[in-house]
């Protein structure tokens, strides 16, 4: 009996299989109710007492070897099955999440494209600026409130180094470096010392426009802005200019567009006025031209400036400015269809 069991152990150790069915047949042969192991246990029962210890140990060894062999062969076959699944080229692929552009970047691009089509170049400038480019060269009087710490983030005082509060500073940089005719739009991030709320933020984006040439008139300004409003908000859009004040333009105006939601009839977005305020503009003040060494007796120009957040709010009906900065995917994913 000793020899018989040892042979079975050898057989178990060298057994190999290519299919689950072969393993199952092997299991039935040895481990089923009427299998080899049961038979051997029957023989074992009638052995003389002194042989029982040794044979019993061998029998257990055979049982364990069989079980181990079966388990490891099953594992092997199982992992081969998964590997071959990966190579199944007919399986559908895993979808890759496509990102989307941020609404600010969508609107920024749209504004720049509209002006590029009528010959405006794109120019940029630094976010950290000095007093000259943000205030002095733009005709801000020394006591103007924007020069106060309450409105502007200063990095250093005397000489003043600060975060630009508007992209009008780029106008000055362009005038320093180019001679008329000048036709440029300047996008950028601006900073103001304001409490954050649904309608205000300490960081936001603007696009500045500047056109300087001989004989540029207020009619040119109005016509350019009408073209812009129609391109941005639709062919039926109307504009109106309300008198206003900026230190760097004279005369100055604020431009409203007819409400694109109610078509001018009045709704809660336009606060029942039919109009939405969109940008500030005006004829470049001769002082600004002269300060920047452009002959104001020969050249005239117009300028305008707008907040991108505000325009994106009107275009996409976004009600809270803070959404732009929170990177909430539920918000951002809504723009995935806009290129
Ligand atoms: N810089 C102004 C602001 O930040 C916007 C502005 C108004 C720019 C009139 C202009 C302009 O160029 O002519 O509020």
pLDDT tens for residues 57-104?
888 998 899 999 888 888 887 766 555 556 778 888 888 888 889 999
- In this structure, the answer to whether residues 79 and 109 fall within a common structural domain is no
Bond preceding residue 251 cis, omega within 30 of 0: yes
Q: How far, in Å, from the CA of 183 to the mean position of ligand 1?
A: 16
Report if residue 97 sits inside a domain.
no
- In this structure, the answer to whether residues 281 and 180 fall within a common structural domain is yes
- Six token digits for residue 263: 């078509």
HEC-encoded secondary structure of the chain? CHHHHHHHHHHHHHCCCCCHHHHHHHHHHHHCCCCHHHHHHHHHHCCCHHHHHHHHHHHHHHHHHHHHHHHHHHHHHHHHHHHHHHCCCCCCCCCCCCCCCCHHHHHHHHHHHHHHCCCCEECCCCCEEEHHHHCHHHCCCCCCHHHCCCCCCEEECCCCEEECCCCHHHHHHHHHHCCCCEEEEEEEEEECCCCCCCCCCCEEEEEEEEEEECCCCHHHHHHHHHHHHHHHHCCCCCEEEEEEEECCEEEEEEEEEECCCCCCCCCCCCCCCCEEEEEEEEEECHHHHHHCCCCCCCCEEEEEEEEHHHHHHHHHCCCCCCHHHHCCHHHHHHHCCCC
pLDDT at residue 97, rounded to an integer = 80
Pocket lined around ligand 1, Cβ cut-off 6 Å = 166, 168, 208, 246, 249, 280-282, 303-305
pLDDT at residue 264, rounded to an integer = 84
Output Rg (C-alpha) for the chain, integer angstroms. Answer: 40
* Tens digit of each residue's pLDDT (9 = 90 or more) over 244-275: 999 999 999 999 999 988 888 888 888 899 99
- In this structure, the answer to whether residues 117 and 246 fall within a common structural domain is yes
Domain harbouring 195, CATH code: 3.30.930.10
- In this structure, the answer to whether residues 214 and 325 fall within a common structural domain is yes
- Taking residues 147-162, report their average pLDDT: 89
Ligand 1 atom 2: the closest Cα is on which residue?
A: 305
- In this structure, the answer to whether residues 65 and 114 fall within a common structural domain is no
- In this structure, the answer to whether residues 239 and 113 fall within a common structural domain is yes
* 33-37, 189-193, 306-310: segment of lowest average pLDDT: 33-37
Choose one of 166, 203, 279, 309 to mutate for the ligand 1 pocket test, by most ligand atoms within 8 angstroms of C-beta. Answer: 166
Residue 177: band (very low, low, confident or very high) from pLDDT cuts 50, 70, 90: very high
pLDDT at residue 326, rounded to an integer = 93
Q: How far, in Å, from the CA of 52 to the mean position of ligand 1?
A: 104
* Tens digit of each residue's pLDDT (9 = 90 or more) over 107-136: 999 999 999 999 999 999 999 999 999 999
Report if residue 95 sits inside a domain.
no
- In this structure, the answer to whether residues 163 and 213 fall within a common structural domain is yes
Question: Total structural domains in the chain?
Answer: 2
Q: How far, in Å, from the CA of 262 to the mean position of ligand 1?
A: 27
Report if residue 37 sits inside a domain.
yes
Q: How far, in Å, from the CA of 161 to the mean position of ligand 1?
A: 21
Q: How far, in Å, from the CA of 213 to the mean position of ligand 1?
A: 19
Residues spanned by the domain of 185? 103-335
Report if residue 198 sits inside a domain.
yes
């Amino acid at each position: 009996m000793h020899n018989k069991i040892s042979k079975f152990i050898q057989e178990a150790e060298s057994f190999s299989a290519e299919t689950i069915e072969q393993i199952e047949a092997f299991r039935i042969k040895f481990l089923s109710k009427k299998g080899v192991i049961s038979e051997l246990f029957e023989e074992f029962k009638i052995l003389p007492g002194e042989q029982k210890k040794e044979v019993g140990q061998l029998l257990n060894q055979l049982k364990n070897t069989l079980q181990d062999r079966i388990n490891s062969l099953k594992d092997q076959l199982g992992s081969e099955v998964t590997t071959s699944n990966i190579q199944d080229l007919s399986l559908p692929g895993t979808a890759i999440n496509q990102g989307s552009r941020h609404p600010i970047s969508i609107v920024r691009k749209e504004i720049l494209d509209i002006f590029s089509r009528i010959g405006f170049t794109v120019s940029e400038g630094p976010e950290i600026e000095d007093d000259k480019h943000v205030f002095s060269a733009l005709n801000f009087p020394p006591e103007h409130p924007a020069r106060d710490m309450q409105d502007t983030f200063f990095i250093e005082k005397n000489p003043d180094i600060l975060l630009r509060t508007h992209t009008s500073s780029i106008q000055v940089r362009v005038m320093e470096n180019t001679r008329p005719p000048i036709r440029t739009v300047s996008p950028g991030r601006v900073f103001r010392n304001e409490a954050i709320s649904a309608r205000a933020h300490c960081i936001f984006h603007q696009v500045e426009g500047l056109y300087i040439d001989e004989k540029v008139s207020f009619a040119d300004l109005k016509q350019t802005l009408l073209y812009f409003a129609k391109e941005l908000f639709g062919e039926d859009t109307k504009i109106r200019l309300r008198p206003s004040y900026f230190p760097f333009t004279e005369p100055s105006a604020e431009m409203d567009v007819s409400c694109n939601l109610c078509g001018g009839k009045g709704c809660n977005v336009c606060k029942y006025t039919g109009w939405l305020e969109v940008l500030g503009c005006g004829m470049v003040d001769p002082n600004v031209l002269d300060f920047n060494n452009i002959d104001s007796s020969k050249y005239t120009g117009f300028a305008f400036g707008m907040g991108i957040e505000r325009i994106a709010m009107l275009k996409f009906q976004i009600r809270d400015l803070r959404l732009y900065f929170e990177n909430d995917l539920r918000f951002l994913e809504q723009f995935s269809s806009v290129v």
